[in-house]
Structure 1
Amino acid sequence: MAGQQGLGLVAAAAFPPWQESQGQEQLADAAERGKEALQAP
């Protein structure tokens, strides 16, 4: 889905590789919120 790809790009921009270790949990939270937003009416 285009929306999910967009979220991935935003997440990649928000958490560059050098921040990955400290961003993992935040990234997971953001992904969950993004999925909920995509499923909302």
Structure 2
Amino acid sequence: MNRHKVDQEINENPVRRTQLVVSGMKSATSSIRYEERS
């Protein structure tokens, strides 16, 4: 993944950045729950 390109998209579209952060938090939360179950 091109880091600079992603940063450019984030700067141009703050909503995109929010979506990335939210999806990142969701995946992190789900992985934590998965570890607790096992």
Per the shorter chain, which TM-score range?
0.5 to 0.7
Deviation of 1:23 (Å): 2.2
TM-score (norm 1): 0.50
- Structure 1 gaps of 5+ residues are 1-12
Q: Larger relative CO (CA 8 A, sep 6+): 1 or 2?
A: 1
User: Root-mean-square deviation (CA), in Å?
Assistant: 2.5
Moved over 4 A (4+): none
Picking from 16, 21, 36, the partner of 1:31 is 21
- Classify 1:15/1:23 alpha carbon distance in 2 versus 1 (closer, same or farther; 3 Å): farther
- Aligned letter for 2:7? F
Distance in 2 between residues matched to 1:15 and 1:38, nearest whole Å:
21
- Aligned-pair identity in percent equals 4
- Structure 2 gaps of 5+ residues are none
TM-score (norm 2): 0.53
